[in-house]
Amino acid sequence: MSEIIFEAGNDITLNIPKERYEATLRFYRDILLLDVEEKAADQPSARLAAKVQFGNSTLWLYCTGTTAQPATWLELCTNDMTAALNYLHTNGIISEDAQETVPEGMRLVRDPAGNTLLLKARE
């Protein structure tokens, strides 16, 4: 088996309740004056989406009707999805895909503090 590699991705996702989405969008676009581009939502649970250039990272704002509280997802990339999931499982970290709808080919895991990591194969 090859060595499993984990590395930070470039995407940070903020899942925002619909009643706070427009104010959040205005905050990043009109107050912080960041480059914001409204996009088609590519997450099954999202109604609206915006892409924000956030330094070397991309901040994705998703308007969801299912999130009671705002949630942050950090992108984590790996060179071998199957081996990575097995490794994480061996270390007591299980995939939590059943609790959220995620894009195909990606998996959700949580760190011990409950922060969500969106695990995906490195492009």
CA distances from residue 101 to 42, 46, 55, 56, 62 in whole angstroms, order as listed: 11, 10, 28, 27, 13
Q: What is the pLDDT of residues 86-99, one digit of tens each?
A: 999 999 998 876 66
Q: Are 43 and 62 in contact (CB under 8 A)?
A: yes
Higher pLDDT, 113 or 16: 16
Give a yes or no: residue 31 inside a domain. yes
pLDDT, tens digit, 9 for 90 and up, residues 35-78:
999 988 777 677 788 999 998 999 999 888 765 677 888 999 99
Number of domains in the chain: 1
Residue 105 lies in a domain: yes
Q: What are phi and psi of 118, to 5 degrees?
A: -95, 105
In a domain, 1, yes or no: no
pTM of the model: 0.76
CATH of the domain at 106: 3.10.180.10
4 burial type by CB count under 10 A (0-12 exposed, 13-18 middle, 19+ buried): middle
Q: What digits encode the pLDDT tens for the residues 14-32?
A: 988 888 889 999 999 999 9
In a domain, 23, yes or no: yes
Expressed as residue numbers, the domain containing 96 is: 6-121
